[in-house]
Every structure is written in C-alpha cells, then in structure tokens.
Amino acid sequence: MRLANIRASNVGASIAAAAATLVTSPVRGEDAAATRDAIESAPAAEPTESPPERWYGWQTLIVDSVAAGAFAAGVAQHIDPLSVTGMILYGARPPVVHGLHGHPWLALGDVALRAAAPVVLALIGVAIEDAATPRQDSRAPIR
C-alpha cells in the first residue's frame, strides 16, 4: 500500500511538471502559427439564450381588480374590514406577484409606486379644489 502511494505521488508530480513546462514554454515557428490558426478557426461559443419572458400582467390586473372591488364595496356598504382588505390587497399583492416571478426590483418599484401614487394624486386633487374655490379678498372691507 505504501508503494502505491509513492508511485501515485510520483505520477502526480510528473504530471504537474509536464503541465508547468507546457504552460511556461513559448511556442515558436510553425507550431505557433498552427496554434494561432486553430484558435482562430475554432467555432465561437454560442451565446446562451435565456427562456422567453412570459407576460404575467394579467395576474396583477386580477389582484388589482379584486382590491378595487373590495375597497369600493366596503366604502359603499360602510364595512370597514372589507375596505381595509381592499387597501391591503392593493398595496401588498402585486409586489408579491413580481417577487414570485423573480423580479425583485420590479416588486420594489411597485411598492414605491403604490405608496406614492395615492399621495401624489391626493395632493393634485387638493390643488385643483383649492384653485377652483373662490376666495374672499382679505383686503375688502367687511360690512
């Protein structure tokens, strides 16, 4: 058994020495030209094609429709838990759909959009209402 280990280590050392010689020795003359030609004529590696992306927007549209319906029904019927459920579905489920499809950045963007959109739209509504409401002139005399 000891003799087998010695032979195996000698073989390993011989292979390592031969590999080092091949790697470090320069290739000259006809061998260099043949090597260069072989490298240049080798077929290029084909780019790996990723599987085609499938559109899953219908899933987020279904979740948004259910959320809007639950919110509207809750407000119309004065059922607070139903309207709260609609708001939670609006904010939480579509980012989950993006995450399940392997798009964490889309999920994060969707969270930001769903948090910012109601605030921005409410501010626009307040500005429009403020502009449309007639004001009393504060400089006019009070009678």
The answer to pTM > 0.85 is no
- State mean pLDDT over 49-60: 81
Tally Cβ neighbours within 10 Å of residue 102. Answer: 8
Does pLDDT of 142 surpass 50? yes
Tally Cβ neighbours within 10 Å of residue 117. Answer: 11
- Distance, CA of 118 to CA of 114 (rounded, Å): 7
Question: With contact defined as beta carbons under 8 Å apart, do 69 and 86 qualify?
Answer: yes
- State mean pLDDT over 91-104: 89
- State mean pLDDT over 73-94: 91
At residue 4, the pLDDT reads 45
Does pLDDT of 23 surpass 50? no
- State mean pLDDT over 73-82: 93
